[in-house]
Amino acid sequence: MTSKDSILFDVDGTLMDAVANQRRVWHEWAGRYGLDGDEVYAVALRTRPVETFAAVVPGADPAECLALLHALEDEDVRTGTYAAFDGAAELLAALPTGRWALVTSNYEHRVRGRFERTGLPLPELIVDAASVSEGKPSPVPYLRAAEILGADPAECLVIEDAPSGVRSGRAAGMTVWTVNTPTPAEGSQRHFGTLAEAAPEILARAGVRP
């Protein structure tokens, strides 16, 4: 590893605290189908939306299920309450332009909406769900980010919170650190209880001197 890695961030749970928003959206979605919100959300945490639909409403049209979910998520971006994790704004502002990116399973317009509302700096590159043929835990999203940045995957540092993201980064041949969880996800190579604790080490890996 060099001392000037490219830094690739997951968004929800890593830079942005959106757990309550995700829970609320899934509960409202479940209510539209007469389902128990807690039970649906428990499934949604483990699977991609299309797999969640198949598990909880196997007879429903997946396209209609997804359209409703997207509408609820878009409304939440406009009206929901969001908060960036402590230290996120300062960390992102200190990183060199063109040396960091967002790699998210969400869609770019929602990420931009949330960042604008919370004042977080946006990078030049966002690899979102529409940018790739396969989502996390496939390595494709992180490899795509490295390719666009012109970075060697071996010289990329991934910052994640979720097991699927950790698997994605590791499968891409990258170093993966986890933040904002009590314990690290399996495969994490270094863990920090909060993003703020990790920030100085992340900046060091990016070659930013204090």
- What is the per-residue pLDDT for 82? 86
pLDDT of residue 1: 39
Distances (CA, A) of 55 to 48, 50, 148, 164, 210: 11, 9, 36, 19, 49
The yes-or-no answer on residue 161 being catalytic is: no
**What's the CA gap between 158 and 180, in Å, rounded?**
14
Question: So what's the pLDDT on residue 199?
Answer: 98
Catalytic, out of 10, 17, 76, 161: 10
pLDDT, block means (10 residues), the chain with 210 residues: 80 92 95 97 86 95 96 93 94 96 94 93 96 93 98 98 94 98 96 98 92
Query: Where do runs of H (alpha helix) occur along 80-206?
Result: 88-94, 108-118, 140-149, 163-171, 195-205
Q: Catalytic residue, from 5, 12, 76, 161: name it.
A: 12
Q: Domain 6-17+82-205 class?
A: alpha beta
Say if residue 2 is exposed, middle or buried (CB neighbours under 10 Å; 0-12, 13-18, 19+): exposed
pLDDT at 18: 85
Q: Which helix (H) or strand (E) holds 41?
A: helix 37-44
Q: CA 20 to CA 9: how far, in whole Å?
A: 20
Burial of 99 (0-12, 13-18, 19+ CB in 10 A): middle
What are the boundaries of each domain within the chain? 6-17+82-205, 19-79
DSSP-derived letter for residue 185 is P
So what's the pLDDT on residue 142? 98
User: Residue 81 and residue 185: Cα distance in Å, rounded?
Assistant: 27
CA 10, CA 164: separation in Å to the nearest integer?
Answer: 11
74 catalytically annotated: no
